[in-house]
A and B are shown apart, each in its own frame.
Chain A
Amino acid sequence: MSPGKVGSIMKADVAVVGAGPAGLAAAVAAAEAGALVAVVDAGAQPGGQFWRHRPETVVPEPDGSGHHGWRSYVDLRARFDAARRRGQIIYLPGLQVWMPEKNDAGFTLHTTPAVARARSEDAATNDPAGSGAGNGPAGSGTVVARRLVLCPGGYDRQLPVPGWELPGVMAAGGIQAFLKGNGTLPGRRFVVAGTGPFLLPVAAGIAEAGGQVLAVLESSSPAAWLPHLRAAAGVPEKALEGAEYAAVFARHRIPYRTRSIVTEILGQDRASGVRTAKVDADGRVRPGTEGVYDDVDVVGFGWGFTPQMELPVALGADTRLDADGSLVGIVDERQESSIPGLFLAGEVTGVGGASLAVIEGLTAGAAAARERAADKADASRATRHRRFAEAMHHAHPVPAAWQEWLTPDTTVCRCEEVTASQITEARDTLGARDSRSLKSFTRAGMGWCQGRVCGFAAGCLAAGQRVSASAQSLSDAAKRPLGAPVSIGELASLETDS
């Protein structure tokens, strides 16, 4: 059967999930090693979140402005398209995996369209191999492969703050995705807050696109980098990036305030301003330092990243807590997980940025295509990037005292509208001490997003003041038997039971 048909089964040597930096690299490496590769990606065109760009139907040759590592993308993309033309990569865009299975033949991925098919697209033909991006979402289908490389990436980690459920409050990465995907901004006057170097490109991108950044509020302090300078020196390109951002900040007069947080979003039916405060090293508000920014359209928050762990967890891969408190998959030097034949690359092995993701993807793809040891030069570059990432995690921690910022009626679970007091009451009177029992007793994490947004915060709240979520709690929160919503009709028409 042809790809894209509802209920079709695609067979490949290697399946890759994700077409961002890690996924593109894995697909290219596996194809160039001679494997037949199937790439399943939720996006409508290659690039993932990091290299998200405007639809190629509208802007056929993006120039890469506002992107980092664009040359790396152009190189990978050319090899990706060439492999598609050779018939070695089957590209399945617009699909989400709702269930992965391990079986005797290897792995089976059950997929569903990320976006409902338009009626007019029902008769549309498939994208001819190598012509560029896919033409909209394919139908649901099944991919069967001997080996699997999961590169699902991550998304901004969030901490609840009073008023963060108001329209106009976005994930920092959401603002960037909006800009990269639409070429425009979602508002005019921005405040960007949270922690970590990612806040810098977000703010710089806003300013370069004509938005006004009233402030970047970073909860940590530059001094936190001092113990990690050796690790930072190992990745000189990061210093260059930093210098670029400094120049943009200076040109646009963007105030960069360290040891500062947003304590409340102001506004009735949409964000109109923020209250801010200075904090100490633990994140406790320093009395008398409160301030206000009025006339704010959009507030962007990012507290590091949360790797998308449901697929590795569903397949039973061993996991660990990383230096940033995130649950990540354990891999060997070939990026192979504890499940034979299952490889992980990119943020799901530890948040480390796109350069590291590419190296990991190349290693994973080559290893999945044939039993091959990791390239020594790649391994040493990966090590330097991982040291840098670890230094970054230590320099930009989630503030220990963040739970003290909450008011009793602060929304924690946005989907089910569960408040902080409902959660602490369930913890204190009903014994909900992990994310799983908390979910049972309060519905936090039971809604549309299945705890993707509130899972980390809820796990911390269940554990208690100044305690971070345990690996068990995060692993329970990442147990999502359906990796994506799937219609009952699609389930009813499942063809096989493998």
Chain B
Amino acid sequence: MSTQAQGAAETPGGPTVELTLRFDGRPLKAAPGQSVGGALAAHGITAWRSTRKGARPRGLFCGIGVCFDCLVTVDGAANQRACLVEVRDGMQIDGSYPQAEGDRQ
């Protein structure tokens, strides 16, 4: 996918360590210091919340914790802001928007 996707752990000056998350049950690589939203976007995943009325996809919007559009379940804690939560190795992330196979790598 994008250069950013592979570049997550290879940014100049950044660490080369990789973490593994589980997103909707599947393993996903991430780099230390990324936000959950950053890790998902690096894999081309742009939507993980489903709206209540229209079941529409939502992901990052304001990026700074104001809009609550990017809500996600982190290690069982519901409705966490993906833009604020920093990834940790082994973190379980569950969205409410069904992911199509082609959306991920």
Contacts and interface: CB of A to CB of B under 8 A. Distances in A.
A55 B57 CA distance: 29
A174 B58 contact: no
B91 to A, nearest CB: 8
B42 A184 contact: yes
Given A59-B33, A167-B57, A210-B3, A183 B75 contact: no
Interface residues of B, number: 50
A174 B68 contact: no
A49 B64 contact: yes
B80 A183 contact: no
Nearest to A96: B65
Interface stretch (A113-121, A219-227, A243-251): A113-121
A173 B60 CA distance: 12
Contacts of B84: 42, 114-115
Contacts of B64: 49, 155, 171, 173-174, 177
Looking at chain A, what size class is its interface with the partner chain?
Answer: 35 or more
Interface string B5-32: 0011001011100000000000000011
Interface stretch (A23-31, A334-342, A358-366, A447-455): A447-455
Contacts of A63: 13
Contacts of B56: 165, 417
B14 A183 contact: yes
A177 to B, nearest CB: 4
A170 B8 contact: no
B80 A184 contact: no
Interface stretch (A100-108, A185-193, A318-326, A400-408): A185-193
Nearest to A189: B2
Nearest to A209: B4
Contacts of A115: 80-81, 84-86
A118 B88 contact: yes
B47 A167 contact: yes
B34 A452 contact: no
A66 interface: no
B35 interface: yes
A157 to B, nearest CB: 11
Interface in A40-76: 42, 44, 49, 54-55, 57-59, 63
A213 interface: no
Nearest to A183: B11
Nearest to A119: B75
Nearest to A306: B66
B47 A54 contact: no
Given A114-B65, A115-B84, A58 B60 contact: no
A11 interface: no
A366 to B, nearest CB: 28
B70 to A, nearest CB: 10
A287 B21 CA distance: 50
A178 B38 contact: yes
B62 A453 contact: yes
A497 interface: no
A320 to B, nearest CB: 23
A165 B66 CA distance: 15
Given A58-B32, A182-B34, A184-B11, A170 B80 contact: no
B33 A168 contact: no
A266 interface: no
Contact of A181 (B38, B54, B81): B38
Contacts of B32: 55, 57-58
B37 to A, nearest CB: 7
Contacts of B61: 169-171, 174, 414, 453
Nearest to B46: A167
Given A54-B33, A182-B38, A187-B41, A168 B67 contact: no
B66 A155 contact: yes
Interface string B39-64: 00110001100011110111111111
B77 A116 contact: yes
A269 interface: yes
Nearest to B32: A58
Contacts of A210: 3-4
8 contacts: A54-B14, A116-B77, A168-B46, A182-B33, A183-B11, A186-B41, A210-B3, A417-B54
Given A174-B62, A177-B64, A415-B69, 5 more contacts: A58-B32, A155-B62, A170-B60, A174-B64, A417-B56
Interface of B: 2-4, 7-8, 11, 13-15, 31-35, 37-38, 41-42, 46-47, 51-54, 56-69, 71, 74-75, 77, 79-81, 83-86, 88
The 7 closest A-B pairs by CB, nearest first: A174-B63, A58-B33, A448-B68, A182-B38, A116-B77, A167-B47, A167-B46
Interface of A: 42, 44, 49, 54-55, 57-59, 63, 114-116, 118-120, 136, 155-156, 165-171, 173-178, 181-188, 210, 269-270, 297, 308, 414-417, 447-449, 452-453, 485
